[in-house]
Amino acid sequence: MATDLEIARAAKLLPISEIARRAGLPEDAVLPFGRHVAKLALDQLDVLSERAVGHLILVTAINPTPPGEGKTTTTVGLGDALNRLGRRTIIALREPSLGPVFGVKGGATGGGYAQAAPMDAINLHFTGDFHAITAAHNLLAALLDNHLFWGNALDIDPRRIAWRRVVDVNDRALRKVVVGLGDDANGAPRETGFDITVASEVMAVLCLATDLDDLKARLARIVVARRRDLSPVTAQDLQADGAMAALLRDAIQPNLVQSLEGTPILMHGGPFANIAHGCNSVIATRTAMRLADFTVTEAGFGADLGAEKFCDIACRVGGFAPDAAVIVATLRALKHQGGASLSEGASPNPRCLEAGLANLGRHIENVRKFGVPPVVGINFFSGDTEAELLRVIGYCREVHGVEAVVCRHWAQGGAGAEALARAVVAICESRPSLPTFQALYDLDASLIDKIEAVATKVYRASRVSFTPRAQRDIERFEAEGWGKLAVCIAKTPYSFSADPSVLGAPTDHVLPVREVRLAAGAGFVVAICGDVMTMPGLPRHPAATDIQLDSEGRVEGLF
What structural domains and CATH numbers belong to the chain?
4-127+251-433 (3.40.50.300), 130-247 (3.30.1510.10), 447-529 (3.10.410.10)
* pLDDT of the residue at 389: 98
* pLDDT of the residue at 344: 87
- Average the pLDDT over 197-208 and give the result: 98
pLDDT bracket for residue 72 (50, 70, 90): very high
What is the phi/psi pair of residue 348, to 5°? -55, 135
Q: How far apart are CA 246 and CA 224, in angstroms?
A: 19
Distance of CA 383 to the CA centre of its chain: 29
Q: What angle do CA 89, 93, 94 make, to 5 degrees?
A: 170
Asked if the model's pLDDT at residue 46 lies above 90, the reply is no
Query: Is omega for the bond preceding 432 within 30 degrees of 0, making it cis?
Result: no
Shortest CA distance to 519 belongs to which of 134, 251, 205, 142? 205
- Average the pLDDT over 25-35 and give the result: 95
* pLDDT of the residue at 3: 87
Q: How far apart are CA 244 and CA 166, in angstroms?
A: 14
pLDDT bracket for residue 2 (50, 70, 90): confident
* pLDDT of the residue at 37: 98
* pLDDT of the residue at 177: 97
pLDDT bracket for residue 199 (50, 70, 90): very high
* pLDDT of the residue at 433: 61
User: What residues contact residue 2 under an 8 Å CB cut-off, 6+ apart?
Assistant: 10
Q: Which residues are catalytic?
A: 71, 73, 94, 105, 273, 301, 381, 410
User: What residues contact residue 390 under an 8 Å CB cut-off, 6+ apart?
Assistant: none
* Residue 202 CA: distances (Å) to CA of 199, 269, 326, 434, 558: 8, 11, 29, 37, 28
Q: For residue 429, how many other CB atoms are within 10 A of its CB? A: 10
Asked if the model's pLDDT at residue 133 lies above 90, the reply is yes
* Residue 284 CA: distances (Å) to CA of 49, 163, 201, 265: 13, 28, 19, 10
- The DSSP symbol for 297 reads E
- Average the pLDDT over 101-127 and give the result: 92
- Average the pLDDT over 101-117 and give the result: 91
Angular region, 332: left φ>0, alpha ψ -120 to 50, beta rest: alpha
Q: What percent of the chain has pLDDT over 70?
A: 99
Go through the chain and tell me how many residues it has.
559
Could you list the beta-strand ranges (E) of 163-317: 165-167, 177-179, 190-192, 194-196, 223-227, 232-234, 255-259, 264-267, 294-298
User: Is residue 494 helix, strand or coil?
Assistant: coil
Could you list the beta-strand ranges (E) of 104-180: 110-111, 114-117, 156-161, 165-167, 177-179
* pLDDT of the residue at 345: 84
* pLDDT of the residue at 439: 96
Answer for the pair 296, 223: CB distance below 8 angstroms, yes or no.
Answer: no
Angular region, 453: left φ>0, alpha ψ -120 to 50, beta rest: alpha
What is the phi/psi pair of residue 431, to 5°? -55, -35
The rounded radius of gyration (Å) of the Cα atoms in the chain is: 23
Q: Which of 46-50, 178-182, 243-247, 371-375 has the lowest mean pLDDT?
A: 46-50
- Average the pLDDT over 478-506 and give the result: 97
* pLDDT of the residue at 385: 97
Asked if the model's pLDDT at residue 47 lies above 70, the reply is yes
Q: What angle do CA 89, 198, 282 make, to 5 degrees?
A: 35
* pLDDT of the residue at 434: 58
Segment 270-328, tens digit of pLDDT? 889 999 999 999 999 999 999 999 999 999 899 999 999 999 999 999 999 999 999 99
Q: How far apart are CA 279 and CA 298, in angstroms?
A: 7
Q: What percent of the chain has pLDDT over 90?
A: 91
Q: How far apart are CA 336 and CA 524, in angstroms?
A: 33
pLDDT bracket for residue 188 (50, 70, 90): confident
What are the CB-based long-range contacts (under 8 Å, 24+) for 26-33? 30/256, 31/253, 33/127, 33/255
* pLDDT of the residue at 50: 81
Q: How far apart are CA 145 and CA 325, in angstroms?
A: 45
pLDDT bracket for residue 435 (50, 70, 90): low
Q: How far apart are CA 80 and CA 262, in angstroms?
A: 8
- The DSSP symbol for 95 reads P
* pLDDT of the residue at 66: 87
pLDDT bracket for residue 449 (50, 70, 90): very high
Q: How far apart are CA 446 and CA 381, in angstroms?
A: 44
- The DSSP symbol for 128 reads S
Answer for the pair 452, 460: CB distance below 8 angstroms, yes or no.
Answer: no
How much is the pTM?
A: 0.96
What is the phi/psi pair of residue 362, to 5°? -60, -40
Answer for the pair 327, 364: CB distance below 8 angstroms, yes or no.
Answer: yes
